[in-house]
Amino acid sequence: MTPKTIGFIGLGVMGEPMCRNLARKSGQRVLCYDLSPEPMQRLLEHGAQPCTDTSELMKTCDVVMICLPSGKAVTDLLALLLPQVRSGQIFVDLSTSGLDVARNAQAQLERKGAQFIDAPIARTREAAENGSLSIMVGGHAACLEEVRPLLECLATDITHCGPIGAGQITKILNNMVLFQTGLALSEAFAIAQRSGFDANMIFNTLTKGSGDSFALRNHGMKSILPGQFPTRAFSVQYARKDLTYALAMAAQLGIPVLGAEAVDESFACAIAEGQGDRYWPVISRVIDGSVQAPSAGALS
């Protein structure tokens, strides 16, 4: 691709390994910024140049990638960056930030002569580490093609889902389905445990039948079975934030989503029991009784 300077803002659980892969693989100059200095220092060892503030990054970069924890964070950042936006810059939002955020970002940036695509990511932190994410893109196909070589440093699957916001909708529905599958696995685990059967055997057997899924192989086998729910992972709180987008869309469209509502209740239980900062499959331990679920009144 034509030589470009790339800026990466947001070096959290997923952002740091993505920025590292970008610096290692793209062959482009990569600048990075985060409120925390530690990930910037770690990335320096891999060729990414830390910036003291966003102004330094904005002055130099042709492409600005954003990976933040919420739509509000993206909106707040764009409000800060907007006065410094230059015509011709390309902005790529890798966050799960919602349909309205994507549409508003495009409108604001286009008025400044810049381009924008929403490109939320899917799969696990392990996938972020090894560059095998799935990226769901909304926006102009030509803009996607211009940055595709950069996205290929991060992902093995890049799908153009449609116009602005299509990436966000696809990711939100992806997570809604994932969370409901995770809830079903958590319930299956609890039933197996309570009945005195070997949950490991049951889950392994499910991988050979129609109950097989990405959620089973990754969240079930690697998290629910061994009881591993780290804090530097996709937490219950972040998962519930993503689910909120799906619930809001369903409410606007008048569609009942009982499964999604059941997941939201499980997330609420886990948060009420102090598990909100742990990897979201920890809901399995609320369901099996390892973590005491609160009474119905505590969820209001």
Catalytic site residues?
Answer: 171
Residues 68 and 49: beta-carbon distance below 8 Å: no
Residues 118 and 67: beta-carbon distance below 8 Å: no
| 30 CB burial (10 A radius; 0-12, 13-18, 19+) | buried
- CB burial readout 138-168, b (16+ within 10 A) else e: bbbeebbebbeebbebbbeebbbbeebbbbb
What is the distance between the alpha carbons of residues 116 and 64, in angstroms, rounded to a whole number?
10
- Token output for 18: 């993505």
- Taking residue 121's Cβ as centre, other Cβ atoms within 10 Å add up to 22
At 78, the amino acid letter reads L
Phi first, then psi: what are they for 273, rounded to 5°?
-95, 15
Residues 7 and 65: beta-carbon distance below 8 Å: yes
Please name the residue ranges forming H helices in the chain.
15-25, 37-44, 54-60, 71-81, 99-111, 125-130, 141-151, 166-195, 199-206, 214-215, 236-253, 258-272, 283-287
Give the position of tokens 């330094």: 56
- Token output for 124: 């696990």
